[in-house]
A and B are shown apart, each in its own frame.
Chain A
């Protein structure tokens, strides 16, 4: 993204003479949120603060959930400020317009956008601070600023001998004015970008430091648990409040919107009391369907409505009419839980008509709305402190757990921590939607002449706007929150980007085919859904790349070369495909009992191709090796890129091998890691990651490792067994 640097940079003197650099991102100006700056008035929550005692504070506007923003974004600042990244201290951002993600106009971390949206603004912040420090030093020494240099936190005199630490200069520097654009370092002078290989949070995370939401401890804190309706949407008719209230340590038992809360002095006492809680649920408005009903409803919808056209080129009907052969296939993917290892939790303290929340959340501004929604408070009365996240994967974009803790804290005169059990976390998640794909392709003389893809399933934004709409316009009266949520959907593309959650990964179909018809048949069975690492790409990637494999087989062609030929106009796709094929020894003999599969998916701007080598051992699928090539533009931290791609591969394999949430009369059947399994150390394949050395604008790596591995594994199993699996998860005995 290209920004005019002068427009959004502000610098000033902060309290006790420190230098503050703050950025106002475009698109935020003029919103009457109460956060408007007065002329000459500087906020304490600047992005970058340099103090007189030589400390550097960087406010991290994106949360750290394992994806590496803590290190990556700090590296961008450090590079231009010319200090080692290790010397910068991080703060997690409070809720404020400046910290919004410009792509969503919300302060959220998701969509693999952190580096892409920070690349220019953060380097500019660092460079501006550095330039002001240099100007101040030049004034002190009475020399030309252009002849001064910087090195590791000091400005160096033109004589090359004298120098001054930044701390000595910050007060003077805050009065300097930069005219014109500040120059960014040329690539050949980078010390840390593309080279920084350490994670700045590794020590905290290897020593048991209390950095997660679940670790928050406050004076006089009490503990809450919530019993929710086993069927989504059920309401408590009655419950044995009095007998539970009489149990040891129990402080209160009451109903909240989402269930029955038990508050006790200790966590384990709350759990024991919860076990004695008996609730008579009214299911008259609850979800009562089973998984089979979901897919039946998808099949009916697919037949009844051809769906909205999402991409149309040429004339598919014509292509089919003149084809030698028409290939058809139907793919199904199940609901999936997020299963962050840190279960949902949050802590809240209601005092003096204000609510303070401590939470692992991907959307602190949404959290504020969530609190306001369930209390008498307005968003301005709510402070959100973001902690490190023990995994996110999209789960913590939805603030249901914060609504719960806020509702409980509002009735409790002490700070209260809410922790979900693993069973609650699995059964009351908002799931990656189950999806159905109907694919058709026309072949003429072995060439693909037409591609028809009908996607059947819900859109996630419909579930998400509830808090997102008001968070964008927090001055809205609360009685309009629900209306605003709906307007958010109507105004898609204005207040929010178009909801691509159902179609992404399908509409960007990259292969050269003359006649293309891609449609979305919208149908929502009412099962709660949300964003799940790689979102639409997670299911469309499987449908598209498996069907491409089927077509290669029908055309009697090698699946790699078949794709290759159809990507002639797409150099970045081609490059990763070729590199993955080479890394995965595509053309060499495969050991007995194994086979290879290939797939390539671009998601969130990043190109990833993978070759999977797999077999079947002792009646189970065994993945031996995954070879990945990735082009994410300019790399900030090669180690983190490779770790994220590998992590995405293992996340995708978990889905491919085990992932399935099923419903029986509205109740989720899985509960813990014995029946919702995650890939274990023993199952882990060897993973090799090849990163393309690119100068393109950087794109995200948090999600793009996930999509290709699922079809690549399925394609390998087809090569091994000759049986095509069109339903996930994959089976050894299909």
Chain B
């Protein structure tokens, strides 16, 4: 079937089977490999993308269910060629080890901050607890999210 999708600001019309999970459409049809396959059932968060403003596990949602929707992946997070503040923080804090889970971690963090620009530590932990990291980068993930939240709130105060 033909499915129309807006991904990172570009409209795509794709000829794929409607039950194909969004993850494989992004990765194999659109070549956006930043979104990762980890578990296939929404347990690990490696495949997290943003659909119409909601953090969504792309491995377990069929592409037909998001037809016509707006999808943002790690590649489009910064908007075009720029790097998102969270990605800067991730680099600055040296968050990744193997790095495989980090696209999903960053997408979950971006969703949190978009809806709650100054979260408490408990709120960050709760928001990030659906994203597994086997290497154990959890401490630096919290530090990186907090650094972006802090700089956003200081900018707001300054304005």
Contact = CB atoms under 8 A, between A and B. Distances in A.
Interface of A: 65-68, 197-199, 201-212, 214-215, 217, 248, 266-269, 272, 339-343, 388-393, 419, 421-423, 639, 643-644, 646-651, 672-674, 678-682, 684, 687
Interface of B: 16-17, 19-21, 24, 28, 31-41, 43-44, 46, 73-75, 83, 87, 90-91, 94-103, 106, 125-126, 128-142
A391 to B, nearest CB: 5
Given A206-B95, A214-B33, A643-B97, 19 more contacts: A198-B94, A199-B96, A202-B94, A202-B95, A205-B98, A206-B90, A208-B32, A208-B34, A208-B73, A341-B38, A391-B98, A422-B38, A643-B140, A647-B136, A650-B136, A672-B40, A678-B134, A681-B125, A681-B141
Contact of A687 (B40, B125, B129, B139): B139
A422 B41 contact: yes
B41 A66 contact: no
Interface centre among A209, A388, A646, A681 (most CB of B within 10 A): A681
**5 closest Cβ contacts across the A-B interface?**
A208-B34, A205-B99, A66-B98, A390-B100, A650-B136
A272 B20 CA distance: 10
Interface centre among B21, B34, B91, B100 (most CB of A within 10 A): B100
A341 B136 contact: no
B2 to A, nearest CB: 16
Nearest to A215: B33
A208 B26 CA distance: 12
A673 B97 contact: no
Contacts of B34: 207-210
Contacts of B103: 208
B17 A340 contact: no
Nearest to B141: A681
A647 B97 contact: yes
Contacts of A682: 125-126, 129
Given A208-B74, A267-B24, A269-B17, A66 B99 contact: yes
A296 to B, nearest CB: 32
Contacts of B28: 266-267
B97 A68 contact: yes
Given A68-B97, A208-B35, A672-B41, A203 B91 contact: yes
A268 to B, nearest CB: 4
A610 to B, nearest CB: 14
A673 B94 contact: no
Given A208-B75, A268-B21, A678 B132 contact: yes
A508 to B, nearest CB: 26
Tell me the dominant secondary structure on chain B's binding face.
loop
A342 B75 CA distance: 19
Nearest to B88: A206
Given A268-B17, A673-B132, A681-B128, A391 B100 contact: yes
B24 A268 contact: yes
Contacts of A203: 91
Contact of A217 (B31, B37, B74, B128): B31
Contacts of A680: 129-130, 132
Contact of B97 (A66, A266, A421, A684): A66
B134 A201 contact: no
Contacts of B40: 421-423, 672
Contact of B94 (A212, A422, A643): A643
Contacts of B106: 206
Nearest to B73: A208
Given A206-B106, A419-B37, A682-B125, A647 B137 contact: yes
Nearest to A649: B136
Nearest to A393: B134
A651 B136 contact: yes
A687 to B, nearest CB: 6
B102 A673 contact: no
A341 B132 CA distance: 8
Contact of B100 (A67, A272, A342): A342
Contact of B99 (A248, A269, A390, A673): A390
B33 A208 contact: yes
A341 B17 contact: no
Nearest to B74: A208
A679 B87 CA distance: 24
Contacts of B130: 680
Contacts of A687: 139
Contact of B98 (A65, A423, A646, A678): A65
Contacts of A639: 94
A571 B111 CA distance: 50
A266 B87 CA distance: 31
Given A67-B97, A208-B73, A390 B36 contact: yes
Contact of B20 (A65, A198, A266): A266
B134 A341 contact: yes
Given A208-B74, A343-B37, A646 B136 contact: yes
A273 to B, nearest CB: 12
A612 B68 CA distance: 51
A388 B100 CA distance: 9
Contact of B133 (A68, A217, A269, A341): A341
A684 B20 CA distance: 35
Given A208-B75, A687-B139, A673 B91 contact: no
Nearest to A653: B136
B138 A684 contact: yes
Contacts of A272: 19
A217 B43 contact: no
A248 B131 CA distance: 34
Contact of B102 (A68, A197, A206): A206
A433 to B, nearest CB: 20
Contacts of A679: 136
Contacts of A199: 94, 96
A211 B101 CA distance: 13
B124 to A, nearest CB: 8
A651 B97 CA distance: 13
B25 to A, nearest CB: 9
Given A248-B17, A391-B134, A673-B39, A207 B87 contact: yes
B56 to A, nearest CB: 16
Contacts of A644: 97
10 contacts: A206-B87, A206-B106, A215-B33, A342-B98, A388-B99, A390-B100, A419-B37, A672-B39, A681-B128, A681-B131
